[in-house]
Amino acid sequence: MTQLKNLSETPVHTTPPPLVRVSGTHLEMGQQIGESRRKNVQNSIENARKLIKEAYRELELSWDGALIQARKYLPFAQERYPQYVDEMQGIAEGANISFDELVVLNVLEAVTMDALHLTRCTSMAVNDEYTADGHVLVAHNEDWIPDDENDVFVIHAKPNDEPPYLAMTYGGLISNIGFNAYGIAQVIDSVYPNDSRIGIPRLVVSRAVLAVKTLGGAINRTLIPHRAAGYNHLIAHESGEIYNVEVSARRFSIIYNKDGYLVHTNNYLSENMQEIENDPEELISSRIRYFRALRLLNQSKSHTIKSLQTIQRDHVNYPNSICKHDFGEGNLLDREKTINAMVIDLTAREMHIAWGNPCKNSYHTYHLDD
Ligand SMILES: [Zn+2]
C-alpha cells in the first residue's frame, strides 16, 4: 500500500463523546443542553463567525448580515414547529449566548446559500435480511468543518410530549441525526438543489422527523409544505423498511431498499431531482463514495456492526474518501473531514459512535433507555 499523506496527523480522542441526558418541555431540554455543553455551543458560534468572515469575499455577507438573513426563516419555523424554536431558545439561554446567533448557526447552510464547498456525509443502511444476526443497521459518516469536531456530543432525550430519542449533534445544532423509541432512525446528507427559498429551515424539518411514531409520518415530515430546501433523509424502520427521501424545496423522490440495503452521499440519485441539481460536476467525490460504499455493501449478505465500521474507515480516493481527511491547509471553506462516524443498531436501540475519523478512533456504545 502507498503511504497516505499526513494520516498520522489525524486527531485522536482519548474519551468517548460526552453524553447529555435531558427531559421535560422543549424549552427545558434546550436549557439543559445549553447549560451542560455551554463551552461547545459557544465554540460553535465562534467557528461560524470565523467561517462567515473568511467567506466574505465570496458571499459578501457579514455576521450582522447573517443575523438579518437568519431572522427571515424564523416565522416559518415558529408557525409550524414552535416547540423546536423553544429548544433553540433554551439552548441559547443555557449557554449564555444570544438567541439570534443560535438561529444563524441552525440556518447556516441557508444563509451561506450552500456556497461553502463542502460535499459532506456518507449514509448506509442494511435490513434484517442483510445482517448476520437479523438486526437492522444504519451507518453514517458526518463530514463537516474540522473546527467543530471538538464540540461533538450525544443527546439522550425524553421530551414530555414526544417519543424518547438518542441523537448525535455538535455545538448549538438542534438534534436531527439519530433514532427514537418507535424504532425509526434518520441520518441526513446535504444535497444541492437550485430551488431553495425562505421557509422552514432544513434542520428544523429534520428535527421533527425524530418525533414521529410511524414510517409514513417520518416521510410526510420531510415533505412539509413551506420547507426552505431539502436534504436526503435516509429513514429506516426496525421492520427492515428503508427509504432514501430526496428532498428539495419543491420536489422530492422516494427510493426504496428493494435489495435490502441502501446508500446515499451528496448527489441526487433520482432523475427528477438531478434536473434541479446545482453544479453536479463538483460532486464527483460524492459519486465515488456512493459507488464504493454500494460495492462494499454488496459483497456480503451477513453484515455486522463491525463490517459496516470497516466500510466507514475506507480510504479509496483519499483524502476525499468515505473516511474523509483534512490536512489543515488551504481555504477554510474548502476544508472538511469526518468528525464522527456512527452505526445505529435499530433493533438493539443502540448507537456505536467513533469521535473523529473512525480509522484512528474507537467506537463507543450508547443505549436508548425505555
Ligand atoms: Zn481515515
Q: Which tens digits make up the pLDDT trace of 296-317?
A: 999 999 999 999 999 999 999 9
Question: In this predicted structure, what is the pLDDT of residue 44?
Answer: 96
Q: How many CA atoms lie within 13 A of 275 on its CB side?
A: 7
Residue ranges near ligand 1 (ion) with Cβ within 5 Å: 323, 357, 359
For residue 298, what are the domain limits?
A: 115-367
Instruction: Judge whether 330 lies within some domain.
Output: yes
Do residues 28 and 89 touch, judged by C-beta distance below 8 A? no
> What is the Å distance from ligand 1's center to 196 Cα?
33
Residues 6+ apart with CB under 8 A from 3: none
Q: How far is CA 254 from the centre of its chain?
A: 19
17-68: per-residue pLDDT in tens?
999 999 999 999 999 999 999 999 999 999 999 989 988 888 888 999 999 9
Per residue in 61-95, pLDDT tens?
899 999 999 999 999 999 999 999 999 999 999 99
Q: Give the three-class secondary structure for 62.
A: coil
pLDDT recorded at residue 63:
94
What is the CA(138)–ligand 1 centre distance, in A? Answer: 19
Sign, Cα dihedral of 20, 23, 29, 31: negative
Least trusted range by pLDDT, from 180-189, 218-227, 321-330: 321-330
Interstrand relation of 152-159 and 19-24 (parallel, antiparallel or unpaired): parallel
Span from the CA of 144 to the centroid of ligand 1 (angstroms): 14
Residue 20 is assigned to a structural domain of this protein: no
CA of 270 from ligand 1 middle (Å) equals 29
pLDDT digits (tens, 9 = 90+) for 197-235: 999 999 999 999 999 999 999 999 999 999 999 999 999
What pLDDT is recorded for position 128?
97
Residue 176 Cα, ligand 1 centroid: separation in angstroms?
A: 24
Contact 288, 314 (CB under 8 A): no
Inside any domain, residue 1:
no
Q: What local confidence, expressed as pLDDT, does residue 115 receive?
A: 61
Q: What is the pLDDT of residue 118?
A: 64
Decide if 169 is inside a domain: yes
Question: Which pLDDT band, with edges at 50, 70 and 90, does 370 fall under?
Answer: confident
State percent of the chain over pLDDT 70: 98
Within a domain: 35: no
Domain harbouring 340, CATH code: 3.60.60.10
User: Do the domain assignments include residue 184?
Assistant: yes
Q: Please give the distance, rounded to the nearest whole angstrom, from the Cα atom of residue 319 to the centre of ligand 1.
A: 8
Interval between CA 325 and ligand 1 midpoint (Å): 6
Give the C-alpha separation, 323 to 136, whole Å.
Answer: 22
C-alpha 340 to ligand 1 mean position (Å): 11
As for how many domains the chain has, the answer is 1
Q: Is 73 inside a domain boundary?
A: no
Of residues 163 and 326, more confidently modeled: 163
Of the candidates 168, 165, 124, 123, the one whose C-alpha atom is nearest the C-alpha of residue 148 is 168
Question: What whole-number distance in Å separates Cα of residue 30 and Cα of residue 41?
Answer: 11
Residue 221 lies in a domain: yes
Sequence length of the chain is 370
